[in-house]
Chain A
Amino acid sequence: MTIKYTIPTNNDLLPMYQMNFTGLYKRFNTTTMIRNLSIGILLFCFFNTGFAQDSVLLKKWSFNTAYLMPAGKWESGIFQPFRYGITNKMEIRANALLFPLLPNVGLKFSRGKINEYTLASEHILSYPTLFLNIVSREDIGGLISPEFDFPFIFSISNSLLISREITPSILATGQAAFVFALRGEKPDPQATIDLPLFYPRMAHYYEGTSVRLGAAVKGRLSAKWLYEEGVQVFIITRPENNFFFENTGTLMWAVGKSLRIRGGYVLAYGKYPYVTPKWQLWPTLDFVFGSK
């Protein structure tokens, strides 16, 4: 047996979870770092001294909650999808930046309230084949080798969102999604984009389905500053490379009545085809604008 030892690098961190679908066996291996982060997030949120009422929070930032855009109102970011309230119980969305390459559309429905919990469901259809065949090319921009062609693939996502007001200025949301693909045939398993953020979101195009579980806390720091802290888990129903975790932290500045600037980070963990479980940190930035 051969072992390898390396000069320690910054990426030598312990895996947090391992999943084996054959036996549905789950083994936790939580690091002190993750525990501290969770405690830190909870402390931060619990002791937040926000001042405004929830309606202001929701007016500025209802994306990723069980609340819908009010009827006739819209908002869009460069990366955040365009959202339009058709009625007070139905919202339509599409990612405008991606649409020319990756046609997509979604509907979100209000499912009413149960006690203090607000419920909604979201259903998104996208067609990634066009995008995959475009980036499967020679030279710069070839994210996938040009020897691969992609069949028709429809990706369908169904999710349930549930939000609850924790305090007048803090909103917690939980989300569960089931994402699957209808495809002509399975694409080649080597025709993947093996990058954090991309890989877990595209995994179901190739094999299995994706179960996504998330939780997020939104709150107000002041009249113009809001924050969100969230976690999301991707579970792909296949034997390998089947577990991914993301932690996102965002600050939003409500510049004006319709313009908001969001920035933060995504900390991603996953087991990619090159085996070694990996953490990766990426910055995020978006400009969101919409109806006043």
Chain B
Amino acid sequence: MKRSYLKKAIIALCIPLLFMIVSSCEPLATGFDDVEDAIMYEKTEKAKTPDPDSTIRVMTWNIRFGIGRQPWFGDACGDNTVFKKEEVMPGLEAVVARIKEVKPDILFLQECDVKSNRTAYIDELQYILDNTYFNYAAYVSEWKSEFIPSDGLGRMDMGLVILSPWPITDAKRINLATREDQAGIVNYFYLHSCIVSGRIKIPGFKEIPLLNIHASAFATDDTKKKHFEEFKAEMDKLQAAGEYFIAGGDLNELPPGSDSTDFCYEDMCPGESFHQSGDDPQHKDGSNYTPEAEWLRPIYETYKCAFPLSDYQQNQQAYFTHTTRPEHAWDRTLDYLFTNHRWRAGSAKTHQEFFNESDHAAVSAEFVLIKE
């Protein structure tokens, strides 16, 4: 009798424990499936949706997690890892102001933080959604960790976003190739590049698939090339299906034919040395694009960039979208918009006036809609 009670008691204990084990186990760093659902945001009180007649403005912008041009240890020779709320909010407000100034219909964001320790646990996407006219957002994490035990980074959730006044359907996170030039433990806690995809349907026009990418910035092997191949493969799939898409983001790569391809000196921090005999590494990670000069050509040859390559090569400086240091001018192009349909001629803009809001300038262009 006592044994059967004991058995029942053990079962009574184990079932809720099992449930909790399944429910509560969360690894320190999040891994990702090849394809998984995006996290969806939606406003309860919707803003009026635009009623375009023939084109929509699309913008892509790496917003550097809202810290503006403040030095950060990871990319601008800074000492700071974390920022207080009062240090982040002005940057975020400035980003929102610029978005409202340009008023894109579709917005691709990269490096948007959602409750990360480094940005005082602000849900930046929630803030942008609450303070702009967008009604929907699709978010995917590219860097997500419960706790990164390095440099005081702590909790991290940074990702890509598609924002739209129209519903976004079928939003997915598409994982890109993992870096192979990092130690396993570093790779475990570091970011995993990806694409966020989705679809929008504007009344009266054909559905538009969207692809927003943030390719690797600091890979020293051919990971970035794989990212471009995977990005192109996604575009090729849509092309093969007879669909007209908008694709873009921060590719962290120069257009083919760029005059300057090595920025080690421009990006060098005090105490660093590159290009000299005995220097190891010879080049700063993420600053030497020379071996990668042709990596974007297959995409350029197949699809239409918002600013054609010929335009870029005639006046490269006008299309620069990035610089690592706030005391330098824009010095390279890393941000793009592509389509397999049409951009309205002359509509592409590189928003170099967004100098204080991020270390990337936004790129926007008008996409010509296709009637149903």
Interface contact B150-A140, CB-CB below 8 Å: yes
Interface positions of B from 1 to 60, Cβ below 8 Å from A: 2-3, 5-6, 8-10, 12-17, 19-26, 37, 39-45
Q: Given A2-B43, A2-B44, A143-B152, are A44 and B12 also a contact pair (CB < 8 Å)? A: yes
Task: State the Cβ distance, B316 to closest chain A Cβ, in Å.
Answer: 36
Interface stretch, picked from B77-85, B194-202, B246-254, is B77-85
Cβ contact within 8 Å between B82 and A1: no
Q: Tell me if A280 and B24 are in contact (CB < 8 A).
A: yes
Contact with B along A109-128 (1 / 0, CB 8 A): 00000000000000000000
Most chain A CB atoms below 10 A, which of B10, B14, B25: B25
What total of chain A residues lie within 8 Å of the partner, measured CB to CB? 50
Closest to A7 in B: B37
Q: Which of A32-40, A56-64, A84-92, A99-107 contacts its partner?
A: A32-40
Q: Is the CB of B26 within 8 A of A267?
A: no
Q: In the complex, A2 Cα to B41 Cα: how many Å?
A: 8
A228 to chain B, nearest CB (A): 13
A37 to B14, alpha carbons, bound, how many Å? 9
Complex alpha-carbon distance, A100 and B185, angstroms: 26
Given A37-B16, A144-B152, A146-B151, check contact A10 B25 (CB 8 Å): yes
B211 to chain A, nearest CB (A): 20
Q: Is B154 an interface residue (CB 8 A)?
A: yes
Give chain A interface residues in 267-281, CB to chain B under 8 Å.
267, 273-276, 279-281
Known contacts: A1-B44, A36-B16, A281-B25. The answer to whether A142 contacts B121 by CB under 8 A is no
Asked whether A169 is an interface residue with its Cβ less than 8 Å from the other chain, the reply is no
Query: Which of chain A's residues have a CB closer than 8 A to the CB of B129?
Result: 2
B42 near A3 with CB under 8 A, answer yes
A147 vs B118: C-alpha distance when bound (angstroms)? 12
Q: How far is the CA of A134 from the CA of B140 in the complex (A)?
A: 34
Which of A4, A49, A137 sits near B6, CB closer than 8 Å?
A49
- Answer whether residue A24 sits at the interface, using C-beta atoms and an 8 A cutoff: no
Q: What A residues does B155 contact at CB under 8 A? A: 194, 274
CA A11 – CA B25 in complex, angstroms? 9
B266 at the interface (CB under 8 A from A): no
Decide yes or no whether A136 CB sits under 8 A from chain B.
yes
A 22-59 binary contact with B (CB < 8 Å = 1; else 0): 00000000000100110111011011110000000000
Does B117 count as interface, using CB distance less than 8 angstroms?
A: yes
Q: How far is the CB of A8 from chain B (nearest CB, A)?
A: 10
Q: Which residues of B contact A190 (CB under 8 A)?
A: 82, 84, 117, 120
B9 A46 Cβ-Cβ under 8 A: yes
The answer to the question of B130 belonging to the interface, with a C-beta cut-off of 8 Å to chain A, is yes
With A2-B43, A44-B13, A147-B79 given, is the CB distance from A10 to B23 under 8 Å? yes
| Bound CA span A142–B9, Å | 44
Within 8 Å by CB of A37, from B20, B79, B152, lies: B20
Known: A2-B44, A274-B155. A281 touches B82 (CB 8 A): no
Task: Give the residue name and chain of the A residue nearest to B14 (CB).
Answer: A40
Say whether B344 faces chain A, with CB atoms less than 8 Å apart.
Answer: no
- Give chain A residues whose Cβ lies under 8 Å from the Cβ of B260: none
* CB pair A145 B81 closer than 8 Å: yes
Please name the residue on chain A nearest to B185 by beta carbon.
Answer: A140
Q: Is the CB of B42 within 8 A of A5?
A: yes
Q: Interface residues of B, CB < 8 Å — how many? A: 52
Chain B residues with Cβ below 8 Å from A195 are: 146-147
CA of A193 to CA of B150, assembled, Å: 12
Checking B6, B8, B26, B81 against A280 with a beta-carbon cut-off of 8 angstroms, the contacting residue is B26
Question: Is there an interface contact between B40 and A47, defined as CB atoms closer than 8 Å?
Answer: no
What's the least CB distance linking A266 to chain B, in Å? 10
Distance of A280 Cα from B20 Cα, bound (Å):
9
Question: CB < 8 Å: which of B8, B22, B25, B80 contacts A145?
Answer: B80
Q: Which residues of A contact B24 (CB under 8 A)?
A: 10-11, 13, 267, 279-281
| Cross-interface CB contact of A142 among B10, B37, B43, B149, cutoff 8 Å | B149
Over the window 131-158 of chain A, the binary record of Cβ atoms lying under 8 Å from chain B Cβ atoms (1 yes, 0 no) is 0000011111111111110000000000
- Answer whether A4 and B149 are a contact pair too, CB < 8 Å, given A44-B10, A44-B12, A47-B9: no
Are A145 and B20 closer than 8 Å at their CB atoms? no
B1 to chain A, nearest CB (A): 10
Rounded to whole Å, the gap between the CB of B80 and the closest CB of chain A is 6
Tell which of A4, A13, A142 has the most Cβ of chain B within 10 Å.
A4
State whether A2 and B130 are in contact (beta carbons under 8 Å apart), knowing that A47-B2, A140-B149, A190-B120 are contacts in the complex: yes
A249 at the interface (CB under 8 A from B): yes
Max count, chain A CB within 10 A of own CB: residue among B8, B37, B117: B117
A11, A193, A281 pick with most chain B CB within 10 angstroms? A281
Docked-complex contact A43 and B9, CB < 8 angstroms:
yes
Question: Which residues from chain A contact B80 at a C-beta distance below 8 Å?
Answer: 145, 147
Task: Kindly list chain B residues whose C-beta atoms are within 8 Å of the C-beta of A7.
Answer: 37, 39-40
Q: Which 6 interchain pairs have the tightest Cβ spacing? A: A145-B152, A40-B13, A145-B81, A281-B24, A43-B9, A40-B12
Q: Given A3-B42, A47-B9, A148-B152, 13 other A-B contacts at CB below 8 A?
A: A1-B130, A2-B126, A4-B40, A40-B13, A49-B3, A145-B81, A145-B151, A145-B153, A147-B81, A195-B146, A265-B17, A265-B21, A279-B23
A-B contact pairs, 13 of them (CB 8 A): A1-B44, A2-B129, A2-B130, A4-B40, A6-B40, A40-B15, A139-B151, A145-B154, A147-B81, A194-B147, A274-B117, A274-B121, A281-B24
